[in-house]
Amino acid sequence: MLEGEQLLARFQELDALLTAHQDLWRPRPFTHRHLPWESDHPALAQWLRGRSLEEADASHNQPQHLAAPAPFPDLAQRSAQLCAVGSLPVIGLTPAAARLAVDVPGRKWQQIEAFAACLDFKHPASHWLDWCAGKGHLGRRLLQPGQHLTCLEYDPALIEAGQQLSARHRLQASHVQQDVMAAEAGLRLNATHTPVALHACGDLHVRLMQLANAAGCGQLAIAPCCYNRIQGERYQALSAAAKACALQLSLEDLALPMSETVTAGARVRRQRDTSMARRLAFDLLQRQLRASDDYLPTPSLSAAWLAKPFADHCRDLAALKHLSTVPEQDWPALEAAGWQRLAHVRNLELLRGLFRRPLELWLVLDRALFLQERGYRVRLGQFCPAPLTPRNLLVLAERD
Ligand SMILES: C[S@@+](CC[C@H](N)C(=O)[O-])C[C@H]1O[C@@H](n2cnc3c(N)ncnc32)[C@H](O)[C@@H]1O
């Protein structure tokens, strides 16, 4: 767990790492045929490019264990050092009412239990405010006799389902429809609330921190996710420390922390790979057609496109992008080149992968420091192991 002065110190160390190695983690292998860093580290580039797609996939979620040429091992070690935050201490939770878990998907329930077990606030909560609550599973789990619960959510179907669940479990909860980004959302908070937000995306949890601070909330808990779901074009630093940094983050950069592959079935994986290999093959074709060695963004395509023969896929996509008529090609060779590029891309991505968690921690520390600068005592740590959810960092904040 990190707290007090450790927060700023760690933030600055991460900032130094990310700033010094921007040339390694910013360019996306998917959009570059050759990455700028490859000429600086030819042995590493050649080693990564020599590996298979299967090897890349096996290393994807834990790139730090890869025995790759320099500077990979040093960077892996530094990244691991700076990303060690440890777990938050847990409290003995009152066991959940017998049937509460029944309505919640297993993994979500385990996340909720783990989140709840970390809420050791000095003052017992009197009124939980479940922020972007969905059906309100977290709030219901936290609610104890004598406490109140308000769930804010903007999707009417989720509110309705949440109301039915609360009624079924005979729990007094108010499920309120509220767009938390709307101007009047601040009226929903007051100083008696203990806001909790489990995986409220990007702007949504940032909005909570701003409104909770303004409303005088004495304590809150946030497990952030989807840092790239923001309205602006670039990341808006929150804390004075991050505002003073040179690091400027684009939406693409902000997507890096979310780029672990989720465990998918073999069929889904194959479909995803085929779609990417085709995109990469088309990218080779479009560079030739346009006589320009630049990436050309293409729209995401429905699954029906994958059922088309490869040549038709390319011709139709070229037409969609208003490119000149496609001359006859060695289609099998182009398709194979797409698969070869996919293996290269996935392996080259492993270097970016070393910066995935440092960037995430930088972003979460920016949130922690924002609250600390506003007088909160902040603790930051993991609330559950990564296999349960990779978005497993929790910020706990309290002030008198
Ligand atoms: C990733 S889900 C998390 C739900 C719940 N906290 C959980 O962990 O299961 C994010 C929730 O935010 C809601 N949401 C998205 N934008 C919102 C907004 N502007 N105002 C209120 N709720 C919003 C979505 O409908 C969704 O239920």
Query: To test the ligand 1 pocket, which listed residue (107, 154, 184, 205) has its Cβ within 8 A of the most ligand atoms?
Result: 154
Q: What is the pLDDT of residue 171?
A: 96
Q: Which amino acid is at 327?
A: P
What atom in ligand 1 is closest to the CA of residue 225? 1
198 CA to middle of ligand 1, Å?
9
User: What is d(CA 74, CA 70) in angstroms, rounded to the nearest whole number?
Assistant: 7
Q: Is 196 in the pocket of ligand 1 (CB under 6 A)?
A: no
Q: Is 149 in the pocket of ligand 1 (CB under 6 A)?
A: no
Q: Is 180 in the pocket of ligand 1 (CB under 6 A)?
A: yes
The tokens of 174 are what? 């108010």
Q: Is 322 left (phi over 0), alpha (psi -120 to 50) or beta?
A: left
- DSSP, collapsed to helix, strand or coil, labels residue 378 as strand
Q: Is 142 in the pocket of ligand 1 (CB under 6 A)?
A: no
C-alpha separations of 7 from 36, 106, 147, 241, 369 in Å: 33, 33, 32, 10, 7
Q: Is 204 in the pocket of ligand 1 (CB under 6 A)?
A: yes
Are 382 and 93 in contact by the 8 Å Cβ rule? The answer is no
Q: Could you tell me the domains of the chain?
A: 28-65+263-353 (no CATH), 98-257+356-398 (3.40.50.150)
Q: Is 154 in the pocket of ligand 1 (CB under 6 A)?
A: yes
Q: Is 155 in the pocket of ligand 1 (CB under 6 A)?
A: yes
User: What is d(CA 14, CA 231) in angstroms, rounded to the nearest whole number?
Assistant: 25
Q: Is 153 in the pocket of ligand 1 (CB under 6 A)?
A: yes
- pLDDT per residue, tens digit, the chain (400 aa), is 999 999 999 999 999 999 999 999 999 999 999 999 999 999 999 999 999 999 999 999 899 999 999 999 999 999 999 999 999 999 988 889 878 998 899 899 999 999 999 999 999 999 999 999 999 999 999 999 999 999 999 999 999 999 999 999 999 999 999 999 999 999 999 999 999 999 999 999 999 999 999 999 999 999 999 999 999 999 999 999 999 999 999 999 999 998 876 667 888 889 999 999 999 999 999 999 999 999 999 999 998 999 999 999 999 999 999 998 889 999 999 999 999 999 999 999 999 999 999 999 999 999 999 999 999 999 999 999 999 999 999 999 999 8
159 CA to middle of ligand 1, Å?
11
Q: Is 354 in the pocket of ligand 1 (CB under 6 A)?
A: no
200 CA to middle of ligand 1, Å?
6
Q: Is 103 in the pocket of ligand 1 (CB under 6 A)?
A: no
Q: Which amino acid is at 146?
A: G
127 CA to middle of ligand 1, Å?
19
CB atoms within 10 A of CB 347: 26
160 CA to middle of ligand 1, Å?
14
Are 267 and 293 in contact by the 8 Å Cβ rule? The answer is no
How many helices, marked H, and strands, marked E, lie in the chain? 16, 8
Instruction: Supply the residue whose CA is at minimum distance from atom 11 of ligand 1.
Output: 132
Q: Is 179 in the pocket of ligand 1 (CB under 6 A)?
A: yes
User: What is d(CA 179, CA 123) in angstroms, rounded to the nearest whole number?
Assistant: 29
Query: To test the ligand 1 pocket, which listed residue (103, 132, 178, 227) has its Cβ within 8 A of the most ligand atoms?
Result: 132
What atom in ligand 1 is closest to the CA of residue 137? 9
Checking 331-335 for CB contacts under 8 A at 24+ apart, the result is: 334/281, 334/284, 334/285, 334/310, 335/277, 335/278, 335/281, 335/310
